[in-house]
């Protein structure tokens, strides 16, 4: 699924297709039978609502653990952090495990400062960044 940001043309004109401003979400089965969602692009106010809807659907439809691979995430604002927190809460309420993997150091710092990392114990392991 590709979520494109709605943006206004500025003095520099509109962004080119494929440029920053979009979010790509894809899923696959993990080697252990879990679901893996790969996130690439920008998780921000323009993409957060649709990203949460996508993750919520996966949480509601499955029973196996769900991993969110953040290796391709290039930007995350407060709305994006909210998506991660709400998704974790929804998974817990559904009796599912939601884990984050391959989070960049900059995202880990923000999650630590906001204490959001407490919702994701796996972030304290070296595998979270690897």
Question: Rounded to an integer, what distance in angstroms lies between the CA atom of residue 112 and that of residue 51?
Answer: 22
| The model's pTM | 0.80
Give domain status of residue 108, yes or no: no
Give domain status of residue 16, yes or no: no
How many structural domains comprise the chain? 1
Q: Is 80 exceeded by the pLDDT of residue 115?
A: yes
Instruction: Provide the pLDDT for residue 31.
Output: 85
Question: Rounded to an integer, what distance in angstroms lies between the CA atom of residue 11 and that of residue 89?
Answer: 41
Is the separation of the CB atoms in 116 and 82 below 8 Å? no
Is the separation of the CB atoms in 100 and 71 below 8 Å? no
Instruction: Provide the pLDDT for residue 17.
Output: 39
Give domain status of residue 17, yes or no: no
Instruction: Work out whether the CA dihedral 120, 113, 50, 38 comes out positive or negative.
Output: negative
43 or 8: which leads in pLDDT: 43
For residue 66, give the CATH number of its domain: 3.30.750.24
Domain region containing 42: 22-102+117-128
Give domain status of residue 29, yes or no: yes
In tens, the pLDDT along 53-87 reads 999 999 999 888 999 999 999 999 999 999 999 99
Q: Which residue has the tokens 């969602």?
A: 37
């Amino acid at each position: 699924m590709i979520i494109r940001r709605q943006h206004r043309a500025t003095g520099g004109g509109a962004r080119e297709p494929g440029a920053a401003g979009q979010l790509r979400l894809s899923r696959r089965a993990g080697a252990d039978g879990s679901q893996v969602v790969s996130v690439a692009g920008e998780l921000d106010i323009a993409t957060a609502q649709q990203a949460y809807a996508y993750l919520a659907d996966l949480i509601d439809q499955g029973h196996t653990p769900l991993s969110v691979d953040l290796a391709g995430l290039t930007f995350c604002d407060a709305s994006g952090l909210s998506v991660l927190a709400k998704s974790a809460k929804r998974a817990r309420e559904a009796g599912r495990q939601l884990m984050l993997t391959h989070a960049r150091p900059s995202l880990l710092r923000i999650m630590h400062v906001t204490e959001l990392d407490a919702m994701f114990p796996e972030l304290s392991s070296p595998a979270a960044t690897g």
